[in-house]
Structure 1
Amino acid sequence: MDRTDVEFLSGSQRCAAWLYRPDGGPETVPLVVLGHGLGLNREAGLDKYARRFVAAGMAAMIFDYRHFGASEGEPRQLLDIKKQREDWHAAISYARDLPGIDPHRIALWGSSFGGGHVLTVAHQDPTVAAVVAQCPFTDGIASAIALGPVSATKVTLLALADTVGSFLGRPPIKAALAGRPGQAALMAADDVVPGYGRLARESPLYQPDVAARIGLHVVTDAPGRAASDLTMPVFFAVCDKDTVAPAEATVKAASRLPNAVVKRYPVGHFDIYYDDAYETAVADQTQFLVDALHP
């Protein structure tokens, strides 16, 4: 298979992406757009998913959100929910215009925070053919409860200070992405630092913190409710031991969808990216996409 560097515009800024095409096969193929979770970029563990999908006869594209990775956007590490979803729509539009890609068979694959994005984006664009949401963020309140009161309070104080500073034109005040229980981090649990760290080490462009203002917006976001009227096939990969995106919130969201496929794995939020859990999940996801995107 072939992987090339490509780029597309989202607003006035450039998003960097990798485009994968299968060797040989039909003249026109479906394509899976992949995006990552909270604060991560395309280098952190997503290449192996794209290659498995391409080996099954699909094309794939992994992109970096604006302000992250190899994409443009200042200040760096600005996590804006609305802008990231605009990036998804821009990626879909770009993919649909690619030669050799069937514009009617575009699927979305998102993990963690990106898993929430794909549910909302598919709600906004019902022509999306299929969705895979891996360990998805579906309910901000559930995730805030999982974060714990001490960490949540510390993050909120940082977020308030950063928001005020942004109105005054000051540089962002940062909040850590990963921490131990009780620390001022957007994700704080016993398995977060080693699990998230394993992913982050794969990316030379990774930075460990983001503008803290996102802490005021995550709690009010609920992609699971926004996705209640999706009609395309949706695959939910649920981690039963998830300390970041609680499993029951995701299962509840999936129960509202008529074409949902739910697979539950006895692992934590970060375990699904590696080893036996990854092999099982990616095989399930690949079969789902092959079935959903069949001509």
Structure 2
Amino acid sequence: MGREDVEFKTSDRVTLRGWFYTSELSSGKSPCLVLSHGFSALKEMDLNTFAEYFVSKLPITCLVYDNRGFGDSDQAEGEPRSEIVPITQCSDISDAITYAATRPEVNPDKIGIWGSSYSGGHVLYVGAVDRRVKAVLSQVPLVSGWDNFSRLVRPDFAVGFNGAFAADRIARAEGKEPGVVPVVDADPLKPSALPTPDSYEFFSSWEKKSNWKNTVTLKSIELFRAYEPQQLIEKISPTPLLLTVGRGDVLTPADLALGAYARAKEPKQLQLLPGGHFEAYSGPLFERNASTQAEFLKKWLVEN
């Protein structure tokens, strides 16, 4: 296995940075899987583990990168860091596909996309609108920002968020710094983007061993609520779709993901894991999860 530090430009000239993995099983031009992470997460937060697994089992390459404004990647000139604009991140996935297609190791006709949590929603959208995509792997995805926000945020807290959104818009118009909110907080009664105990456990552990920052802009939360990546899920077909869902997922609730999956057309495959949101990334369920994803990639991206 080889890993190379890489960078590439998006369509609006922002530099994104990441890692490009090659497999010792490859000869000549190989398929490529583009992997992107979820809400505020960085590439080293287990994306490398998936990429390493896939290239060890399959003759493919993998491109892993940090989203704009996070980790090693830049943000657009004049824009704040730690701001998540979902449709822009979707566009960046397409630009990552373009970059991968230009690499001499890659067969440009065999590129798949892998996303988890927030980007698990992104790949549903990109898989429908970017017809270069030959396989879509969506793991514990956010499928409806509106419904997800309503599950995570108490109605009385939502009123406070609405006031904060309005005040932040005025402050930005006046040239002030954008408002921010913690991604997670140990106290569930305090405002945060992801107010679940397992979110706090996951992200706080990475805060201690990476350069992950516990902050996002308020605008990111407002855009989260308005985001509906499931809207085109029926349009992914005939591109193959693998949806991985945790039965006990309360961060991106399992029933919402299963409802979206029911509307997707063939070819599609559902993987149900007996755990919550973050068990998909590591621990006892990792081998089961990653091996199913590798078999899906072998069938639809390598051999097809």
Q: What TM-score, normalized by structure 2, do the two folds share?
A: 0.92
Q: 1:65-115 deviations in whole A, cap 9, x for unaligned?
A: 111110111421111112211211110100011102111110101010010
User: Which of 268, 276, 283 is the aligned partner of 2:284?
Assistant: 276
Contact 1:142 1:246 (C-alpha < 8 Å) held by counterparts: no
> Does 2:14 align with 1:9?
no
Equivalence for 2:46 = 45
Q: 1:174-220 deviations in whole A, cap 9, x for unaligned?
A: 011113433211111232211332344442x2110111112222122
Using the aligned pairs only, state the percent identity. Answer: 27
User: Which of 140, 165, 178 is the aligned partner of 2:171?
Assistant: 165
What is the CA–CA distance in structure 2 between the aligned matches of 1:132 and 1:152, rounded to whole Å? Answer: 32
Equivalence for 1:287 = 295
Aligned 1:1-295 pairs, distance under 5 A: 1-10=1-10, 11-55=12-56, 56-73=58-75, 74-149=79-154, 150-179=156-185, 180-203=187-210, 205-231=211-237, 232-257=239-264, 258-295=266-303
What is the CA–CA distance in structure 2 between the aligned matches of 1:164 and 1:85, rounded to whole Å? Answer: 27
Contact 2:206 2:212 (C-alpha < 8 Å) held by counterparts: no
1:25 shift after superposition? 2.7
Contact 2:137 2:241 (C-alpha < 8 Å) held by counterparts: yes
Q: 1:97-146 deviations in whole A, cap 9, x for unaligned?
A: 11021111101010100100111111110220001111000011221122
Q: Secondary structure at the match of 2:64?
A: strand
1:164 shift after superposition? 2.2
What is the CA–CA distance in structure 1 between the aligned matches of 2:302 and 2:111, rounded to whole Å? Answer: 11
Q: Secondary structure at the match of 1:170?
A: coil
Kindly provide the amino acid, as one letter, of the partner of residue 272 in structure 1: A
1:37–1:240 CA distance, 2 compared to 1 (3 A) = same
Q: 1:268-287 deviations in whole A, cap 9, x for unaligned?
A: 11122121112211111111
Kindly provide the amino acid, as one letter, of the partner of residue 101 in structure 1: V
1:148–1:75 CA distance, 2 compared to 1 (3 A) = closer
Q: What TM-score, normalized by structure 1, do the two folds share?
A: 0.95
Kindly provide the amino acid, as one letter, of the partner of residue 259 in structure 2: K
Contact 1:155 1:175 (C-alpha < 8 Å) held by counterparts: no
How many residues in Structure 1 have an aligned counterpart in Structure 2?
Answer: 294
What is the CA–CA distance in structure 1 between the aligned matches of 2:218 and 2:113, rounded to whole Å? Answer: 28
1:200–1:60 CA distance, 2 compared to 1 (3 A) = farther
What is the CA–CA distance in structure 1 between the aligned matches of 2:45 and 2:159, rounded to whole Å? Answer: 29
What is the CA–CA distance in structure 2 between the aligned matches of 1:152 and 1:234, rounded to whole Å? Answer: 34
Contact 2:59 2:302 (C-alpha < 8 Å) held by counterparts: no
What is the CA–CA distance in structure 1 between the aligned matches of 2:86 and 2:261, rounded to whole Å? Answer: 21
Contact 1:176 1:209 (C-alpha < 8 Å) held by counterparts: yes
Where does the alignment leave 5 or more consecutive residues of structure 2 unmatched?
none
1:57–1:114 CA distance, 2 compared to 1 (3 A) = same
